[in-house]
A and B are shown apart, each in its own frame.
Chain A
Amino acid sequence: MKGEQSSAVHLLLVEDNPADARITLEAIKEVGMAEKITILHSAEVAEQFLRRRGRYADAERPDLVLLDLNLPGRAGLEILAMIKKDPALVAIPVIILSTSHAEQDVRDSYAMHANCYIVKPLSYERLLEILIKINEFWLEMVKLPPKG
Chain B
Amino acid sequence: MAERKSAKTANTPRTLRQENEELKARLAEAEDTLRALRIGEVDAIVVSGPAGPAVFTLRGAEHAYRVIVETMTEGAATISLGGTVLYGNPSLGRILETPVGAVMSRPLADFVAAGERRKFADFLKRARSGPARGRFLVGDCRPAYFSTTLLQQAEEGTRICLVVTDLTEHEAALDQLREAQAEKEILQKSEERFRLLAEGIPQIVWTASPDGTLDYYNKRGVKFSGIHLEEGPDWMWSGIVHPDDWEKAKAAWQRSVAEGLPYEVEHRLRRADGEYRWLLTRALPLIGEDGRIVKWYGTATDITETKRKQEELAQLAERLASSNRELERFAYVASHDLQEPLRSVTGFLGLLKRRYQGKLSPEADEFIEFAVAGASRMQELILDLLRYSRVESQGKPLTAVDSGKTLAQVVVNLQSAIEEAGAKVEAGTLPVIAGDDSQLVQLFQNLVGNAVKFRRDEPPLVRVSAERQEGGWRFAVADNGIGIKPEFRERILQVFQRLHTQQEYPGTGIGLAICKKIVERHGGRIWVESQPGQGTTVYFTLPDRPAAGGGSR
Contact = CB atoms under 8 A, between A and B. Distances in A.
Interface of A: 17, 19-20, 23, 26, 99, 120, 122-125, 127
Contact of B342 (A20, A23, A122, A127): A122
Contact of A123 (B339, B340, B346): B346
B346 A124 contact: yes
Contacts of A17: 340, 344
Contacts of A122: 339, 342-343, 346-347, 379
14 contacts: A19-B344, A19-B347, A20-B343, A20-B344, A23-B348, A26-B351, A99-B339, A99-B340, A120-B343, A124-B346, A124-B348, A124-B351, A124-B354, A125-B350
A127 B344 CA distance: 12
Contacts of B342: 122
Interface hub of B344, B347, B350 (most chain A Cβ within 10 A): B347
B350 A124 contact: yes
Interface of B: 339-340, 342-344, 346-351, 354, 379
A17 B348 CA distance: 14
Contact of B350 (A19, A20, A123): A123
Determine the main DSSP class of A at the interface with B.
helix
Contacts of B344: 17, 19-20, 23
Contacts of B350: 123-125
Contacts of A20: 343-344, 347
Nearest to B341: A19
A127 B347 contact: yes
Contacts of B347: 19-20, 23, 122-124, 127
A17 B337 CA distance: 14
Interface centre among A20, A26, A99, A122 (most CB of B within 10 A): A122
Contacts of B379: 122
A19 B346 contact: no
B116 to A, nearest CB: 107
A99 B336 CA distance: 9
Contacts of B346: 122-124
Most buried by A among B339, B350, B354, B379: B350
A118 to B, nearest CB: 14
A113 B149 CA distance: 135
Contacts of A124: 346-351, 354
B34 to A, nearest CB: 142
A8 B344 CA distance: 30
Contacts of A26: 351
Nearest to A22: B348
- Kindly name the residue among B340, B343, B354 whose own CB sees the greatest number of chain A CB atoms within 10 A: B343
Nearest to B340: A99
B508 to A, nearest CB: 15
A120 B346 CA distance: 12
Closest 6 CB pairs of A and B: A124-B350, A19-B344, A23-B347, A124-B351, A124-B347, A123-B350
A129 to B, nearest CB: 12
A39 to B, nearest CB: 16
A122 B342 CA distance: 8
Nearest to B343: A122
Contacts of A120: 343
A23 B344 CA distance: 8
A27 to B, nearest CB: 8
A120 B344 CA distance: 11
B378 to A, nearest CB: 10
Nearest to A127: B347
Nearest to B383: A122
Contacts of A127: 347
A119 B392 CA distance: 24
A124 B357 CA distance: 14
Given A19-B343, A122-B346, 16 more contacts: A20-B343, A23-B351, A26-B351, A99-B339, A99-B340, A99-B343, A122-B342, A122-B343, A122-B379, A123-B346, A123-B347, A123-B350, A124-B348, A124-B349, A124-B351, A125-B354
B437 to A, nearest CB: 16
B255 to A, nearest CB: 54
A123 B347 CA distance: 5
Contact of B348 (A19, A99, A125): A19
Contacts of A23: 344, 347-348, 351
Nearest to A23: B347
A125 B372 CA distance: 12
Contacts of B348: 19, 23, 124
A99 B343 CA distance: 10
A20 B349 CA distance: 13
